[in-house]
């Protein structure tokens, strides 16, 4: 399972994979090349032009502190592309965007999981 998170008002798109396997599958689908993770990795950040040419981020994080780490990479990368100094205004734009993305990712993954569980319950039972 992978969710798409808005980077509005900045351009580009962000995909967040729910699991390590989802990340590896999505990486091939999005960037047309594999990125196989080591088992000691707790998260991962990838950025580049997707196969459709659209600027894309793909991350996976096993824990909340890893999510903060990987999303910080995303925000710093977005700011660099836009020429924004992340230290400006005591880092408020950086901190605001990081906390918004943390919230959006948690909400999207929870909602997606709930929908998938609902679908599973509707499947016909095999006898
Ligand atoms: Zn890192």
At residue 126, the pLDDT reads 62
Q: 67 near 107, Cβ under 8 Å?
A: no
Spacing, Cα 43 to ligand 1 middle (Å): 8
Domains in the chain: how many in total? 1
73 alpha carbon to ligand 1 midpoint, in Å?
A: 7
Structure tokens that stand for 1 in this block: 């399972």
CA of 50 relative to ligand 1 center, distance in Å: 21
pLDDT in tens, the chain (127 residues): 999 999 999 989 999 999 999 999 999 999 999 999 998 999 999 999 988 889 999 999 999 999 999 999 999 999 999 999 999 999 999 999 999 999 999 999 999 888 888 888 887 666 5
Q: Compute the distance between CA of residue 59 and CA of residue 54 in angstroms, rounded to an integer.
A: 16
- Give distance in angstroms: CA of 101 to centre of ligand 1: 17
Ligand 1 center to residue 9 CA distance, Å? Answer: 24
CA distances to 49, 59, 91, 96, 101 from 2, in Å: 18, 9, 29, 23, 15
Please report, for the chain, how many H helices and E strands are present, in that order: 3, 4
Say if 50 falls within a structural domain. yes
77 Cα to the center of ligand 1, angstroms? 12
pLDDT at 121: 83
Please tell me the predicted confidence (pLDDT) of residue 125. Answer: 64
For residue 47, how far is its CA from the centre of ligand 1 (angstroms)? Answer: 12
119: in domain: no
Residue 20 lies in a domain: yes
99 CA from centroid of ligand 1 (Å): 17
CA–centroid distance, residue 71 to ligand 1 (Å): 9
Q: Which residue segment(s) compose the domain that 58 sits in?
A: 2-109
Does some domain include residue 41? yes
């Amino acid at each position: 399972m992978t969710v798409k998170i808005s980077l509005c008002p900045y351009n580009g798109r962000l995909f967040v994979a729910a699991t390590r396997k989802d990340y590896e599958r999505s990486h091939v689908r999005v960037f047309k090349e594999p990125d196989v993770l080591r088992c000691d990795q707790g998260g991962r950040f990838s950025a580049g032009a997707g196969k459709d040419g659209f600027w894309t981020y793909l991350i996976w994080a096993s824990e909340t502190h890893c999510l903060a780490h990987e999303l910080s990479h995303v925000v710093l990368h977005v700011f660099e592309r836009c020429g924004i100094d992340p230290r400006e205004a005591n880092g408020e734009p950086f901190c605001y965007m990081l906390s918004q993305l943390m919230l959006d990712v948690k909400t999207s993954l929870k909602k997606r999981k709930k929908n998938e569980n609902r679908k599973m319950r509707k499947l016909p039972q095999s006898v």
